[in-house]
Amino acid sequence: MTDVLPHWPGETIQLPGQALFVRSAENSAGEPAVLVHGLGGASTNWTDLMARLRHRLDLRAPDLPGFGHSPPPDDGDYRIGATARTIARLIERTAPGGVHLFGNSLGGAISVRLAAQRPDLVKSLVLVSPALPDLRPRVGTLGVPLMALPGVGEQVWRRVAALPAEQQAQAMIELNFADPSRLPAQRLAEAVAEYRRRFALPYAGDALARTSRALLSAFLEPGPEGLWRQARRVAAPTLLVYGVRDRLVDARRSRRAARTFRRARLVMLPDVGHVAQMEVPARVGRFVEAFLDDVAAGVFDEVLAQPLPTG
């Protein structure tokens, strides 16, 4: 894309226990979709993919509680289940007939829980590098358990907050992108400005620490509420998108995911990192459109396993 679009406009929607800032790319003729970002991100992570899907979907992307322009939850509950209930309330308010639900990383874990518990609200599921339980250590993920540790997380936050915003933004891009040069200069400038704004918020460090703790707790949750078990219960057709060069989510787990979800299609992107919807939005958009075409045609009504294309 030659021109870089500004981020989509948004508004604050008051839900029970939570004021949620939601950006919209509206299409009154399109089916509704909700897009859920990852840990430390914001609704703006979906800007460019929304631009490519706006012609067929009515899109809403919330800032999760404590991130972007959304304040912390009234009760301080950042658990995955609590956030999934907040997203469910957003869907009930804006599209009670159900949505095409997108989730990246942490947003993927939230979306899996929501799809398993409220199948009436989810027409299809698109998961980009979903954060499903994997306790094998990776260098890129060490920051999550550190932030989750009481006392330690606060120290880590103070150290990071002391760094120049330009350095913070560049480090995050290098961690999440396989090829940082794919990020337009305007998007990098926007990220720097957002880091300056966010690190001035009094609750930002606490929100990151508590959400990191919530994600780790979800990884360790046993029994029927475990995320892998919930993935087995998801009835909605599911598109799984993994970047082979992801430093945060091990792409080798994609095969387990493809076997676990009941009606899944898996796409592997060999030269992409953790946020494929930001790094190669046009490519992801093409796969999403083909998937939605097949959902509409009823391909997933009978077929339980789909071919495994590469991008």
Pull the structure tokens for residue 192. Answer: 């720097």
Give the burial string for 276-285 (b: 16+ CB within 10 Å, else e): bbbbbbebbb
pLDDT score of 141: 65
Per residue of the chain (311 residues), give pLDDT as tens: 457 899 999 999 999 999 999 999 999 999 999 999 999 999 999 999 999 999 999 999 999 999 999 999 999 999 999 999 999 999 999 999 999 999 999 999 999 999 999 999 999 999 999 999 997 766 666 667 777 777 777 788 888 888 999 999 999 999 999 999 999 999 999 999 999 999 999 999 999 999 999 999 999 998 888 999 999 999 999 999 999 999 999 999 999 999 999 999 999 999 999 999 999 999 999 999 999 999 999 988 764 544 445 55
Give the residue among 250, 255, 265 at the shortest CA–CA distance from 303: 265
Instruction: Report the largest interatomic distance among the alpha carbons of the chain, rounded to a whole angstrom.
Output: 54
Alpha-carbon distance values, 206 to 64, 87, 99, 148 (Å): 14, 21, 31, 10
- Whether the CB-CB separation of 273 and 301 falls below 8 Å is answered with no
pLDDT score of 305: 46
- Whether the CB-CB separation of 310 and 270 falls below 8 Å is answered with yes
pLDDT score of 153: 73
Q: Which CATH number fits domain 10-140+221-301: 3.40.50.2300, 3.30.450.20, 3.30.43.10, 3.40.50.1820?
A: 3.40.50.1820
User: Residue 9, class by beta-carbon neighbours within 10 Å (0-12 exposed, 13-18 middle, 19+ buried)?
Assistant: exposed
pLDDT score of 179: 98
| Residue spans per domain, the chain | 10-140+221-301
pLDDT score of 308: 47
Tell me the pTM: 0.94
Beta-bridge mates of residue 269: 243
- Whether the CB-CB separation of 36 and 87 falls below 8 Å is answered with yes
Give the burial string for 248-267 (b: 16+ CB within 10 Å, else e): bbebebbeebbebbebbbbb
Give residues with Cβ within 8 angstroms of 195, minimum separation 6.
Answer: 165, 168, 169
pLDDT score of 138: 64
